Amino acid sequence: MAIRKIRIEGDPLLRKKSREVTEINDRTLELLEDMKDTLYEAEGLGLAAPQVGVLRKVVVVDMRDDEGLLKMINPKIIEKSEETQINIEGCLSVPDESGYVQRPKELTVEYLDEKGETHKMKCDGYKAVCISHELDHLEGILYIDKKIEVDEEMLESEELLENEENGDTK
């Protein structure tokens, strides 16, 4: 397949809302494959279709775990915990920057796979961060819109330090 150009902050397309995929066809499957190739080429953890110039609700995520690559069509968070976590994040569309973001500690996402089958997946920790980050892209939101300042008390908390060791989501 092909490596697509990743849109960078300042590109107005990144601020637009994506539309649902109404039919999974060859174009959708090609987009998924191109996004996978682009993600691996850029050494990221997740990539949303708007980042490659397509305003469709399509996301790929690979946490480099046993689950491997997740290809998500029309993903939506259907449940999230009130408990939150603060992690450092980065983004392929905001190169050479990172910042702290507060997100749900746990969430459940519902999505279609490339065969059109519905899946529900519960995730927590950094996977929840990554999924939430990528789904924000589908709404025209970048992590820098949610960036927070952390104080020394937060930095000293063991949980935050543990999460920093996981690296940042790109």
The verdict on pTM exceeding 0.95 is no
pLDDT in tens, 28-58: 999 999 999 999 999 999 999 999 999 999 9
| 135 lies in some domain | yes
Q: How confident is the model at residue 161 (pLDDT cuts 50, 70, 90)?
A: very low
Range(s) of the domain holding residue 146: 12-164
Q: Which residue out of 67, 79, 97, 134 is catalytically annotated? A: 134
> Is the pLDDT score of 160 beyond 80?
no
Q: How confident is the model at residue 159 (pLDDT cuts 50, 70, 90)?
A: low
Q: Mark whether 156 is an active-site residue.
A: no
| 5 lies in some domain | no
| 38 lies in some domain | yes
CB 57, CB 138: distance < 8 Å: yes
| 7 lies in some domain | no
The structural domain count of the chain equals: 1
| 2 lies in some domain | no
| 127 lies in some domain | yes
Q: Comparing C-alpha atoms, which of 136, 142, 55, 126 is closest to residue 93? A: 142
Phi and psi, residue 84, nearest 5°: -120, 170
| 46 lies in some domain | yes
Domain containing residue 87: CATH number: 3.90.45.10
* β pairing state of 147-148 and 118-124: unpaired
Contacts for 168 with CB less than 8 Å, ≥ 6 apart:
87, 88, 89, 90, 98
